Structure 1
């Protein structure tokens, strides 16, 4: 049994008891082949809940600090996050975006599932912010379809970034797969990249019901 299967078997019942996840539209995730899951990002817990509600293992980028901690807590975090599919990337060296893009491309070329939060960081206030164009580059470079998703209620698990998760019902809603083959060979066209990204974000907004802000979340955090 894989470590992913063990984690799902052990933690799955606990997560279901605490968060009572309601999963909608899971049939939109292809049973095999490369696929990009693109959704909103409300809290740290998103990356714990998403892999546990998907039948296929979801690979996603995470801060390398999640797997380099010291002591028992650090080892347990590393075991969990790498087990559920997190790929650690150093995002403080100035080339984090390039590393994340290349990692995602490799995952998709291997026929696996890659999860991404196009906003690039957690929402500072529960609203949906402008997407970064890395999602568009990935789908155009690899031909992988994009399945948009929405995390609903996860911000109530850790309100204000509080440490200990609290029980609260969450919903994970998946939309129909989106494909952009009509833009083949145009992965360097910034207008195409923006159009593709905005199309994905419009679907995420529809699924989540969030208010949309045409501004990068990182800029909103700086201005706060």
Structure 2
């Protein structure tokens, strides 16, 4: 019920306020497992993707966000679930495996999963080297990968600002990438690296960002 409320009321309101310019949404297949692999400019990127995608999109969310007590905590957890967040534990040695398992469960049910291969939002505006989790998911599930470029979200919510501002947002969905030619080779680190680099190149072409062949430090480590 809450999911329908968000899709039918809040999403149109957000589109009216931010007037997102969307190109290539028809590139998202109407059925089957899909990975939306996007650059990451701001915390609001996830909400934007959920609003403009023609299909519901799932994302990973910190498990502690769902652990609130009382009516307020339960309502917030329900709101996050309606937005498409899937709770996953983070901050331990098994966190990466848990995240991949949660994402795979969405794709195994022919859903759409949103992922930021850079691993964190860009603090310098450049596109950084992608982590190979996106390739592992694509190769393990057979999901097509749709590259996505977001721009303007860094003006909606600049680094350090909690309250979103009004600014024009642009979203470009690229041509789907099919990696079925690598079927059975997903265990190879070299193949996962090659697939990830191909995805990042597609995102770079869409976003026109400067590319840096190095992982971006997480904000708390920068």
Change (3 A) 1:219 1:50: closer
**1:34 equivalent in alignment to 2:33:** yes
1:65-214 map, 5 Å: 65-69=64-68, 74-214=73-213
Deviation string 1:39-78 (CA, Å, 9 cap, x unpaired) is 1111110111111111211011122233234677644542
> Secondary structure of the equivalent of 2:60?
strand
Q: Is the 8 A contact 2:38 2:147 kept in 1?
A: yes
CA distance in 1, matches of 2:219, 2:184: 33
Moved more, 180-189 or 195-204: 180-189
Bigger CA drift: 28-37 or 56-65?
56-65
Q: Secondary structure at the match of 1:37?
A: strand
* 2:20 aligned with 1:51: no
Q: Distance in 1 between matches of 2:96 and 2:16?
A: 36
CA–CA distance in structure 2, aligned partners of residues 206 and 65 of structure 1: 36
The change in CA–CA distance for 1:154 and 1:111 in structure 2 (over 3 A counts) is: same
Secondary structure at the counterpart of residue 38 of structure 1: strand
Q: CA deviation at 1:4?
A: 2.2
Please give the secondary structure, in 1, of the residue aligned with 2:159: helix
Task: Give the deviation of 1:3 after TM superposition.
Answer: 3.0
- CA RMSD, 1 decimal: 1.7
- Cα distance change of structure 1 residues 169 and 71 upon mapping to structure 2, 3 Å threshold: farther
Q: Residues 134 and 31 (structure 1 numbering): CA distance in 2 closer, same or farther, change over 3 Å? A: same
Structure 1 residue ranges without an equivalent (≥5):
none
Distance in 2 (CA, whole Å) between partners of 1:206 and 1:171 is 15
The Cα of 1:87 is off from its aligned counterpart by 0.2
What secondary structure is seen at the aligned counterpart in 2 of 1:115?
strand
SS of residue paired to 2:134 = helix
Q: TM-score, normalised by structure 2?
A: 0.93
What stretches of structure 2 of length at least 5 have no aligned partner?
none
Q: Is the 8 A contact 1:132 1:197 kept in 2?
A: yes
Q: Shift of the alpha carbon at 1:18?
A: 2.3
Deviations 1:96-154 (A, max 9, x none): 11011111111111111111111111112221111010111111111111001011110
Counterpart Cα distance in 1 of 2:120 and 2:10 = 25
CA change 1:173–1:216 in 2 (3 A) is same
Contact 2:145/2:177 (<8 A) preserved: yes
Count of paired positions: 222
Equivalent-residue separation in structure 1 for 2:75 and 2:28 (angstroms): 29
Over 3 Å counting, the alpha-carbon distance change for 1:69 and 1:47 in structure 2 is farther
